[in-house]
Amino acid sequence: MTDAKNEGYLGNNLIKKAGIDIQYTEEELNEYIKCSKDPTHFIENYCQVISLDEGMVKFKLRGYQKELIQHYDDNRFNVVLASRQSGKSITSCAYLIWYLLFHPEVTVAILANKGAIAREMVSRIVTMLESVPFFLQPGVKILNKGSIEFANDSKLVAAATSSSSIRGLSINLLYLDEFAFVENAEEFYTATYPVVTSGKETKVIITSTANGVGNMFYKIYESAVHGQSEYKSFTINWDDVPGRDEAWKKETIANTSETQFEQEYGNSFLGTGNTLISSNCLLGMRSLDAEWGHDDFFMYKQPTPDHTYICTVDVAKGRGMDFSTFTMFDVTVSPFEQVAVYRNSMISPMLFPDIINKYAKAYNEALVIIENNAEGGMVATQLHFDIEYGNVFVQGQTKVDDIGVTMNKKIKRIGCSTLKELLEENRLTLCDRNTITELMTFINKGMSFEAAKGYHDDLVMNCVLFSWFVTTEYFHHLTNHQIKDLLYAEQQKLIENDLLPAGIFGAGNQTPEATSFVDNEGDRWYVKGT
């Protein structure tokens, strides 16, 4: 029998070459079986890592690292959000070497944003392999910077992330490192997903620190957190790492910035640099759990008697494409508050007015402001004429049926700039998670702002429409309770006397001038009411 201890791969006596036979002792055989079943036991006892302070040392797993290893072993699809320098990559490499050594005939692929980073992962695995005793090594047939092939026919390949990286390969475990920083990640994932999911036992491990919300990693992680996919999420927070306390946090922020800390260490998905709302403002937003939710309506605060509410509505252009939404705002006092939202991608424009009517009435006959696209005009007309909800804001000069607000460039520009001011100066409070998420992907495109590719801005447009409205003359009248009550009383007299002028409905005086205003472009704006 050849003395395996003196035989190595290409002169490296720490790596067993293929073809070396080993006569196992009973103790070694038992240990082999134990290692094959318990990756944590194998890693802590036989894998070494390079410590900056101590050099080569045994890999002593921290508590959260043990949990992470178990998470990988228990789940096929894994997505990990981790604080910077928390050891996620080295822990993942340790799991990969265990998987390769004790799973014959498998192929593991390591893909990273850059090929050099992926090859560095291979180097880490080789370092660990050198610390593994020969009786646990299957032997190496091929080893280079980008790949390893073992005698048990397991393989490791490393490359930069691209749609052609693993083309033609049958992958058993795919590891994507720092996936939030991969360019064209969505294109890659779309091309790769069918390949790696074709087998029943295929594993996927995706790890990254946060890098905004306009990327594929964020989408996968969020869907996992909310139980909307087959992925299982795992999070490593900055204070999970030993030695990191509030003093460390303060020092790190002092040397960088709070925004940088929250994104790199605090696992905060801050918006991209070209969002309408600043990163610092987005960072300070906190979503709340709804007090009550039913049929896509989420109530964050119940209606309060004598409070004034405004309901802004955005109607989807097609079912299943965008969301039909409305947002309820309390404008009684400053800061204004978001108190309820509705969001549904499948609601028919024929049914939507009934839902608006139901909740607008509940919120003290809220003033309803509807974006007047083709579908929005249909909803607004049905809401006012068929359902006879009276308190609808309308744009027009003399036409009774000109219901709704046409979202032109001017209104959107005013609405966006005002929304930015309201939020960044704490004059408007948002609490809905979907709204806040949309703001994080509401970015500059050309001369305007809109949702990043693959995301939605329907709830944001509710906020934009509301923000434009608060700049109007009528808003100031509306929020003056005495004037509002007076106008309502006068309107009732007109209705009773059948003297209502053409084109004017609802809370208003006897003249168009008292129930309308003229904007800078010469357009007169009216209010429909009871």
- Residues 443/452, Cβ–Cβ less than 8 Å: yes
What pLDDT score does 512 carry?
Answer: 42
- Residues 528/506, Cβ–Cβ less than 8 Å: yes
Confidence of residue 529 (pLDDT cuts 50, 70, 90): very low
What pLDDT score does 319 carry?
Answer: 65
Q: Do 220 and 298 reside in the same domain of the chain?
A: no
Q: Is the pLDDT of residue 482 over 70?
A: no
In a domain, 480, yes or no: yes
What pLDDT score does 191 carry?
Answer: 79
pTM: 0.65
Confidence of residue 164 (pLDDT cuts 50, 70, 90): low
CA distances from 303 to 123, 313, 455, 479 (A): 61, 18, 31, 17
In a domain, 266, yes or no: no
In a domain, 112, yes or no: yes
Q: Do 206 and 297 reside in the same domain of the chain?
A: no
Measured from the Cβ of residue 450, the count of other Cβ atoms closer than 10 Å reads 18
- Residues 385/358, Cβ–Cβ less than 8 Å: no
Q: Do 20 and 166 reside in the same domain of the chain?
A: yes
What pLDDT score does 261 carry?
Answer: 87
Q: Do 309 and 222 reside in the same domain of the chain?
A: no
What pLDDT score does 504 carry?
Answer: 29
Q: Do 134 and 56 reside in the same domain of the chain?
A: yes
The yes-or-no answer on residue 496 being catalytic is no
Q: Do 307 and 180 reside in the same domain of the chain?
A: no
Q: Is the pLDDT of residue 505 over 50?
A: no
Distance CA 91, CA 395 (A): 61
Q: Do 222 and 301 reside in the same domain of the chain?
A: no
Distant-in-sequence, close-in-space partners of 9: CB < 8 Å, separation ≥ 6: 15, 16, 17, 18, 139, 140, 143
Q: Do 397 and 513 reside in the same domain of the chain?
A: yes
Report the pLDDT averaged over residues 77-92. Answer: 95
Query: What CATH number does residue 335 fall under?
Result: 3.30.420.240
Q: Is the pLDDT of residue 530 over 50?
A: no
Query: What CATH number does residue 177 fall under?
Result: 3.40.50.300
Q: Do 105 and 185 reside in the same domain of the chain?
A: yes
Q: Is the pLDDT of residue 228 over 60?
A: yes
User: Measured on CA atoms in the order 300, 303, 308, 314, is the torsion positive or negative?
Assistant: positive
In a domain, 268, yes or no: no
Q: Which is catalytic among the residues 120, 178, 222, 337? A: 178
Triad 122, 128, 130: Cα angle to 5°: 105
For the ranges 65-69, 310-314, 394-398, 491-495, which has the lowest average pLDDT?
491-495
Q: Is the pLDDT of residue 14 over 60?
A: yes
Range of the domain at 368: 292-528
Report the pLDDT averaged over residues 260-284. Answer: 81
Distant-in-sequence, close-in-space partners of 493: CB < 8 Å, separation ≥ 6: none
In a domain, 395, yes or no: yes
* End-of-domain residue from the set 210, 236, 262: 236
Confidence of residue 527 (pLDDT cuts 50, 70, 90): low
Distance CA 144, CA 170 (A): 20
Q: Is the pLDDT of residue 125 over 70?
A: yes
What pLDDT score does 441 carry?
Answer: 84
| Mean per-residue pLDDT of the chain | 84
User: How many domains, the chain?
Assistant: 2
Q: Which residue has the tokens 């959107």?
A: 412
In a domain, 250, yes or no: no
Confidence of residue 224 (pLDDT cuts 50, 70, 90): very high
Region at 19 (left for phi over 0; alpha for psi -120 to 50; beta for the rest): left
In a domain, 522, yes or no: yes
Q: Which of 67-76, 166-175, 272-281, 452-461 is predicted most confidently? A: 67-76
Q: Do 130 and 62 reside in the same domain of the chain?
A: yes
Distance CA 405, CA 19 (A): 78
Q: Do 115 and 29 reside in the same domain of the chain?
A: yes
Q: Do 179 and 324 reside in the same domain of the chain?
A: no
Q: Which residue has the tokens 């998670």?
A: 433
Residue 149 DSSP class:
E
In a domain, 453, yes or no: yes
Pick from 359, 364, 361: nearest CA to 305? 364
What pLDDT score does 163 carry?
Answer: 59
Confidence of residue 510 (pLDDT cuts 50, 70, 90): very low
Confidence of residue 214 (pLDDT cuts 50, 70, 90): low
Confidence of residue 485 (pLDDT cuts 50, 70, 90): very low
Percent of the chain's residues with pLDDT above 90: 53
